[in-house]
Amino acid sequence: MSSYNLGFISDKNLFEHVKETVLKYRFNISLAEFNSNLIDPIKLTFDLKVYGQSIEAVLEHEISRQLDKSNTNHIGYFHQNIFKYLGNGWEVPEEGYDVINTTRHIYVEMKNKHNTMNSSSAAKTYAKMQNLILQDRDALCLLVEVIATQSQDIPWVISIDKSQLVNDRIRRVSIDKFYEMVTGDVLAFKKLCVVLPKVIENVVSNIKTAEKSNTIIAELKALDSNLLKSLYLLSFHQYEGFHDFQL
């Protein structure tokens, strides 16, 4: 096994964690899975006509988008679950907060990007943290953002019902500052990013990944040789007048 020399996580645990993430990656998608995301044939029709692409090209783009969305969720798994390997009281519970350290009274909600929460979701998360610090006067609640606007460890200021709320024990923290908090190494996250390409390459070379393929276009053609018509019938087959829909 290669040496990664991060110090805060063993080579074996880092390799296994990256391997678990790679194995979660999706390579295949069926028509049923494709349509479970509520395909919008109107939007696809605009893409088809505005960009002057073939229906096959538009479908391939949508398939790639869905696979990418699924894989993005797996990167969330990578960011969260690595902390269970770092010891010193850090845990990844099955429910509740994403990462906790009960010894240090630290409770973490983790988001991949700083703009992924709408105002309602942010208010709900803040209220959850408020309730916790009322119950535990030593608690420190963190909203950790992997992709933040800047490197930061600041009070989380939020507006609810036109009132601005701020508490020094409820904080917004960028992932680099959180790694520093966990490991004591100000450069810990940067060091992980440096070795990550090498670890992924080592993992991929040691496992057999699936071939990227899908049966969606073939399944749609089985419904009708006109692929665009098939998409409309897939989404609107129960709507009025679509029993004899033609394009």
Q: How far apart are CA 30 and CA 10, in angstroms?
A: 38
Q: Which pTM was predicted?
A: 0.82
Report the pLDDT value the prediction gives residue 29, as an integer from 0 to 100.
Answer: 81
Report the pLDDT value the prediction gives residue 173, as an integer from 0 to 100.
Answer: 97
Report the pLDDT value the prediction gives residue 229, as an integer from 0 to 100.
Answer: 87
Report the pLDDT value the prediction gives residue 1, as an integer from 0 to 100.
Answer: 67
Report the pLDDT value the prediction gives residue 215, as an integer from 0 to 100.
Answer: 79
Report the pLDDT value the prediction gives residue 16, as an integer from 0 to 100.
Answer: 95
Radius of gyration of the chain (CA): 23
Report the pLDDT value the prediction gives residue 136, as an integer from 0 to 100.
Answer: 95
Low-confidence ranges of the chain (pLDDT < 50): none
Report the pLDDT value the prediction gives residue 212, as an integer from 0 to 100.
Answer: 66
Distances (CA, A) of 162 to 57, 119, 166, 177, 188: 47, 12, 13, 30, 39
